[in-house]
Structure 1
Amino acid sequence: MDISALSEPSFSAADWINANYKKYAEENGKKDGATATSFIQSYVAKLQLYVQQVNYAVEESSQQVVANMPRIAKEAATLQCDVAMLQQKMRTMRQEVAAVQEETGDCMATLERLNTLQTKLQAAKESLQESDGWGNLLAELEDCFERNDLKGVCDKLTALQKSLHAQEQLPGHAERQTQVEDFKNRLEAMASPSLVQCFAESNLEQSQKHVEIFSSIQRLPQLHQYYRAVQKNVLQLQWKQALELQVTDSQQTPHQHFLTHFYDQLLEHCQRQLKWCVQLFGDDSSSEVAQSQPFLVIAELLPALQPTRDTHILQLLKTSNERLELLGQYAQANQSFVLHLNSILQQSNIVLPSDLHRQLGEAIFEYFHKFINQYPRLEETQLSTQVDKLLSKQATPSDAVHHLEDSTRKLYEWLQQACARCASITNDLALCKLITVLNGIFKRQLENFSRTQRQLSLSLGSNGATGTGAARSENWSLLQYTMSQLQCLTDFLLRLHQFEQTLHTRMTTLANRLQVAADGHSIDIYQTCERSAHTQLLASIADYQAKRADASAATSADSLGIFPQIYGTLKTYLAETHDITLNILLQPIEVHLAHIRPPVESHTSAGINMPAFSFAPQESITQIGQYLLTLPQHLEPLLLSPSALLKQALELCNIKYTQAIPCADVLLSLVVEHCCVLYQAQILQIKSLPASSATQLSVDIEYLSNVLEELGLTINLQLSQILILLKAAPEQYLSLSSGCEPRLVTAIRQMRNIISTQ
């Protein structure tokens, strides 16, 4: 029996009994009631025996514990007494130590004071010894100066510095220190001619000797200044040579390349000097100082060039007709120079100090910011000149409409070129100002649409004076022109929408570059923006983005917040052009309606009411009907399968064109609506309407209704009510007029001279 399982934390009596029973049954080879009874008896007996053993062991352990308790208590009391004695000894020892410290404290203070006095006496002794040799050193130093012995002067001056340090405790130290500084100045003046010559000739061996001299007198910063001054003089001479080369050999070396040529020389010089400085100043305590010297030369040189870059470029711009192209060349030269500088820094694993990093960027780009500020004005001048050539001066509507198609394409080509120039010249820093310029350019281009629209209106007016066949043919031509005008306007609108999306993308990119410029490790133009300009530019971009978020996005032709006024004007032109289209189609109807007069009493028998079938429609109304029946054959060629542009233009003009029916049917329905309105207005102008005239007018309306039914359309509600009121017998007029507009009921009643019974 496995007794150890009883002490396990997850012990289960049922599982344990079942497991032992299974094992017991396997040993006996059978499972039945007898086996179970035998298993229970056997295991119960064993468990009882185990319990007895446990009880015995517990009882024995208890007796041992009880027997040992007196001894444990006695040992604990003894240990407590020992602890008390130890505490007493420690208190006594602490008192003795305190007494010793009190007795010896004064002695230790005296020893320390004596040691300090000894140190001061030793320093004073050394100072006096050095003071005795100070005069000798001065004499030897003067002798070396007289003999122009540079090495001797350096050695004596080094010794003099050590002597000065040793005499720090003696009176007159400040005067001696001033005297040493004067000797350093004399040494520097004596060494400067040969030093400048060594730097100019790039003589490494002689230059290293001068580095040792200036290091010994602790004047390495002055040595660095000499180095930079020499290099700047060399580069300033190269700058003047580049400008002279531009003047004397301008045909072989175009003047827009002089800046690139000088930048190339700077890059070559920087790479050479970088290696030379590492060799020369390599033993310097900080290698970063040696590596930064060629870049510091560039940072100090560029703002100090004579003549300055901006002065010379301004002179060239005054004599050039391609100012934007020249600025693009100079901007590209700046960008290329910076890219190569960043490449040199990256390849050499050089990390410039943050102040030098910013100084270098400002030295390269700061002069060019004045040209960035001038760029919008130059761009406006060029675009205005180009747009002036596009202003339509065509004599006929046909030529004017065709000119619009070509002008829209050219305008957006020029705008894309302007945006490309903005990116290449200003890195999009002038993008927001360019948008302001473009607003004015768009307004000037819209004059073309306005002028063409006026030509169409005037042409329609001149044709309206006569109703001849030639005029009718001219109207169909005008209809084609208005359709072309609608397409041009929509094309302009869609191009404008796409142009705005491009501008928003570029503004977002610009904002990201401006925000990360401060933390960038590469030199770029965005780091050199003034804080106020930087803040203003980000605010302008945020304003445009907010306007875009607020703009409606219902259709693809909605404004994105950059040119909302242009969008509004274009949509106005679309609506007006569509109105001209309707006027063209309605003009023959208006001509015929103008000939309609109050029907004359054709039947003189006053007491006889003639039946309706004896009346025929008047000639004017039949001409209107015939015209309406011929409209589909004129409209379908234009609108049966309209282009995507024309379809979108019509949808912008009237929401009915968005229905799933042909555009020709929609336009025909609009013409019919206006025709009914015009006819209704003509009827309401009648003052008096005898019975036979009312019958004649009702026959005319019914004829028009039948014509419209053939076209799949119906007269409007007002004409339907007028027809009911005209056909109503006087005695039934009140009852039949129920549900009609009161205005119409009163007007027809007065025309027919029906006495109101109310």
Structure 2
Amino acid sequence: MDISSLSETNFNSTDWINTNFRNFEGKDKNIFISSFVSKLQLYVQQVNFAVEDTSQQLIGNLPRIIKDVKNLHSDVESLQQRMGQVRSEVQAVQEETGDCMESLEKLNRLQTKLQVVKESLQESDGWGNLISELEDSFERNDLMSVCEKLVSLQKSLVAQEKLAGHSERVSQVEDFKNRLEALASPSVVQAFSMSDLTNSQKYVKIFEGISRLPQLKQYYRAVQKTSLQQQWKETIELADNSNNFLLNFYEYLAENCQKQVKWCEQVFGESSKDQPFLILTEVLPVLQPSRDTQILQILKNSNEKLEILEKFANANKTFVNQLNSLLNNNAVPLSKDQTIALSESVFDYFQKFIQQYPRIEESHLFNQIEKVSFGQTNAGDSIHQLENSNKKIFDWQKEACQRCEVITGDLSLCKLIGILNGFLSKVLENYVKTQRQLNLSIHSEQNWTLLQNCMSLLQCLSDFQTRLTKFEKFLYEKMASLEEQITNYNSSQELTIFSICERSELKRLLTSIRDYQQKRTDPSAIGFFPSIYEALKASFIETHDISLTILLSPIEQQLRNIQPHDNANNPAGFDMPAFSFAPQECITQIGQYLLTLPQHLEPLLLSPSPLLKIGLEMCNIKYSQSIPCADVLLSLVVEQCCVMYQSQILQIKTLQAGAAKQLSVDIEYLGNVVEELGLSITLQLSQILNLLKASPENYLSSSAGCEPRLVTAVRQMRNIISTE
């Protein structure tokens, strides 16, 4: 039996008994229980003996423990009494010696003041000697000796701070510093001009000694600015009227800046690596002649203004990328304000060209569209020209967007969208001109050729709209990218063109971008070019109407020949049977024409191209049904034919009984023809047929369910007296 588990903290009697029981599995249970209980009783007895023994020992030791506690208590009381005595003695000593300590402190302060005065007097005695030695060093032009003496004077000046005439001595030391600076300045300029590392480091020590290191850095910046200004003039002269002068100068600046960062670190120390960048910030805005003046001269003498601006904008961008790389690689710690100032020094001169860019781009785009000839006398040639121009138009627009990104960093993107609206409106004018050509050709050219031209124009319009939709998606992506760049600008430490914009201007630009994005998500809005989409929709419908006019032109000519049947052959006014009437020739001509339409329409519309299908659906929602487009167009022709026939009928003033029968026969014939085409005449024409066939006696009852307007018109034609 394992009794070690009885002392465990998580002991469980049930588990322990079950575990021991499983160890005796297969044996007699009664034997196990009696044996297990006997062992437990034995262990309990042993525990009782051990507890009793321990209790006896504890009882025997209690008197000794009580005695020790009493002794400890008496010792504590004795210690408390002794501590009280010591406290009293210390308090008495403090009272006796307090006045003495205060006197000692006063004496110590007086001694310190006397010591300071003594040292000041000693320094004052040595001041004249130092002045004399300093003058000797100035006469010998010994800069290091002058510096050493000035350092000693500065220390002596601090020691004489409490003596009278201190301010005069301060002025005297500053005068000596000015003389030293004036004496050293020619050599300093020469050392900086020659990039003489040894002498430059020597002058740093001298100027540090006299606490004028900032003035030494000013000398360095002045030398560098003069050198860079001279380099700029030489670069312009060597450029010989080419457009590479700015790029060449920027390359020199980047290379020089990289060298100067290392040189400044060696001369001025790790914290002065920003000096070359501060020099660029100061020198670029004051270059003579200015960068913008040079560019303006080139623009005046060139017709390729956008290409020139792109070239100089790329030079700016390349230079800024080089500077960002130098800043990152050399871990130069420019503050946010210094970063903005450096960015402005690079881009600020170019701001006037960014403002001029939209006007130049607009002129360029409209010149492009003028070069494409749309003055074709033949409509088919004009449509072919339009088909060829679609790709060019959107290529030109993408090129304009790319130029906008390069030249303005997309800051003029919203203005460019306004320009593109005008440009696309100009393009759509050519579609309108072509539609006019088609309209004028309806009665002068073969109908089927014109119909083919209309379908081609619809397909061309659909191609234009599809390209416009893709172009809008491209613009939305540019908008999203621009928004991200502007949003990240405040947290970025890199040089960027956005630094030339005021914060309010960037906010306005962000607002414009978000307005455009809101339009994209608004189902009722039509993207960047709402007026263009409306004009396109009108062009789709107009072109489709021209197609219908072409197809209806022969029908319209025949309908003009419809005249009321006179009663010359029936002077007695006998009521002739219906079988004695035959359809008029003009109606049979219309019927034959309608029956030939499918064979002309199916080659064009049986399997229309995807673009033509889209164009047709823009014209009429019926084309989106799962029936052939040729059948839809045929149904529209039939519907319009019925409307025209109905209009022609309603123009008749008087209709005799024979004429009414003749007209009803004509309508029935047309209905049969239309039925052969799988269609039916309009409800209004069907009602007119019923009203024409109704007898005068039963006219009122037969007109039930017909439109009142038609009932009245036919009744007046037939001279039926109303019984109402």
TM range (shorter): over 0.9
Superposition deviation, residue 278 in structure 1: 2.7
The answer to whether residue 510 in structure 2 is matched with residue 510 in structure 1 is no
Separation (CA, whole Å) in 1 of partners of 2:708 and 2:67: 128
Separation (CA, whole Å) in 1 of partners of 2:62 and 2:711: 128
Tell me what 2:312 maps to.
330
Equivalent residues, number: 724
Q: Tell me the alpha carbon deviations over residues 548-599 of structure 1, each in whole angstroms, 9 at most, x when there is no partner.
A: 12145xxxxx83x211111111111111111111111112212211221223
Separation (CA, whole Å) in 2 of partners of 1:741 and 1:399: 48
Amino acid at match of 1:281: F
Separation (CA, whole Å) in 1 of partners of 2:585 and 2:414: 64
**Kept in 2: contact 1:391–1:445 (CA 8 A):** no
The change in CA–CA distance for 1:93 and 1:714 in structure 2 (over 3 A counts) is farther
**Kept in 2: contact 1:391–1:448 (CA 8 A):** no
The answer to whether residue 565 in structure 2 is matched with residue 578 in structure 1 is no
Superposition deviation, residue 528 in structure 1: 3.4
2:271 aligned to which of 278, 288, 293: 288
Separation (CA, whole Å) in 1 of partners of 2:79 and 2:697: 141
Tell me what 1:162 maps to.
155
**Kept in 1: contact 2:379–2:438 (CA 8 A):** yes
Superposition deviation, residue 679 in structure 1: 1.4
The change in CA–CA distance for 1:136 and 1:90 in structure 2 (over 3 A counts) is same
Tell me what 1:268 maps to.
255
Tell me what 2:330 maps to.
348
Amino acid at match of 1:487: Q
Tell me what 2:296 maps to.
314
1:256 aligned to which of 235, 243, 246: 243
1:231 aligned to which of 224, 240, 248: 224
2:667 aligned to which of 701, 709, 734: 701
Amino acid at match of 1:642: P
Separation (CA, whole Å) in 2 of partners of 1:85 and 1:204: 81
The change in CA–CA distance for 1:646 and 1:142 in structure 2 (over 3 A counts) is same
Separation (CA, whole Å) in 2 of partners of 1:75 and 1:297: 88
**Kept in 1: contact 2:541–2:619 (CA 8 A):** yes
Superposition deviation, residue 68 in structure 1: 7.5
Aligned-pair identity in percent equals 61
The change in CA–CA distance for 1:150 and 1:64 in structure 2 (over 3 A counts) is closer
Tell me what 1:468 maps to.
none
Superposition deviation, residue 721 in structure 1: 2.2
**Kept in 2: contact 1:391–1:447 (CA 8 A):** no
Tell me what 2:599 maps to.
633
1:542 aligned to which of 510, 514, 529: 514
Tell me what 1:23 maps to.
23
Amino acid at match of 2:303: N
The answer to whether residue 128 in structure 2 is matched with residue 135 in structure 1 is yes
Tell me what 2:193 maps to.
200
Separation (CA, whole Å) in 1 of partners of 2:573 and 2:614: 60
Which secondary structure does the structure 1 equivalent of 2:274 belong to? helix
Which secondary structure does the structure 2 equivalent of 1:274 belong to? helix
Q: Tell me the alpha carbon deviations over residues 37-75 of structure 1, each in whole angstroms, 9 at most, x when there is no partner.
A: 333333344444555555666677677778887887787
Separation (CA, whole Å) in 2 of partners of 1:734 and 1:136: 142
The change in CA–CA distance for 1:600 and 1:3 in structure 2 (over 3 A counts) is same
Superposition deviation, residue 233 in structure 1: 1.0
The change in CA–CA distance for 1:625 and 1:4 in structure 2 (over 3 A counts) is same
Separation (CA, whole Å) in 1 of partners of 2:318 and 2:439: 56
Amino acid at match of 1:215: E
The change in CA–CA distance for 1:24 and 1:298 in structure 2 (over 3 A counts) is closer
**Kept in 2: contact 1:603–1:692 (CA 8 A):** no
Tell me what 2:561 maps to.
595
Tell me what 2:365 maps to.
383
Superposition deviation, residue 428 in structure 1: 1.4
Separation (CA, whole Å) in 1 of partners of 2:403 and 2:573: 89
The answer to whether residue 435 in structure 2 is matched with residue 453 in structure 1 is yes
Q: How does 1:404-483 map to 2 (within 5 A)?
A: 404-460=386-442, 463=443, 471=444, 473-483=445-455
**Kept in 1: contact 2:567–2:573 (CA 8 A):** no
Tell me what 1:555 maps to.
none
Superposition deviation, residue 646 in structure 1: 1.2
The change in CA–CA distance for 1:90 and 1:706 in structure 2 (over 3 A counts) is farther
The change in CA–CA distance for 1:79 and 1:158 in structure 2 (over 3 A counts) is closer
Q: How does 1:294-305 map to 2 (within 5 A)?
A: 294-305=276-287
Tell me what 1:501 maps to.
473
Which secondary structure does the structure 1 equivalent of 2:271 belong to? helix
Give the TM-score normalised by the residue count of structure 1. 0.89
The answer to whether residue 339 in structure 2 is matched with residue 357 in structure 1 is yes
Superposition deviation, residue 659 in structure 1: 1.1
**Kept in 2: contact 1:130–1:166 (CA 8 A):** yes
Tell me what 1:624 maps to.
590
**Kept in 1: contact 2:189–2:223 (CA 8 A):** yes
Which secondary structure does the structure 2 equivalent of 1:394 belong to? coil
Tell me what 1:652 maps to.
618
Superposition deviation, residue 85 in structure 1: 6.1
Which secondary structure does the structure 2 equivalent of 1:256 belong to? coil
The answer to whether residue 466 in structure 2 is matched with residue 485 in structure 1 is no
Separation (CA, whole Å) in 1 of partners of 2:134 and 2:663: 133
The answer to whether residue 143 in structure 2 is matched with residue 150 in structure 1 is yes
Separation (CA, whole Å) in 2 of partners of 1:646 and 1:5: 92
Amino acid at match of 1:416: K
The change in CA–CA distance for 1:742 and 1:213 in structure 2 (over 3 A counts) is same
Tell me what 1:116 maps to.
109
Tell me what 1:611 maps to.
577
**Kept in 1: contact 2:265–2:271 (CA 8 A):** no
Deviates more, 1:162-171 or 1:85-94: 85-94
The change in CA–CA distance for 1:454 and 1:162 in structure 2 (over 3 A counts) is same
Tell me what 1:467 maps to.
none
Give the TM-score normalised by the residue count of structure 2. 0.93
Unaligned segments of structure 2, at least 5 residues: none
Amino acid at match of 1:144: S
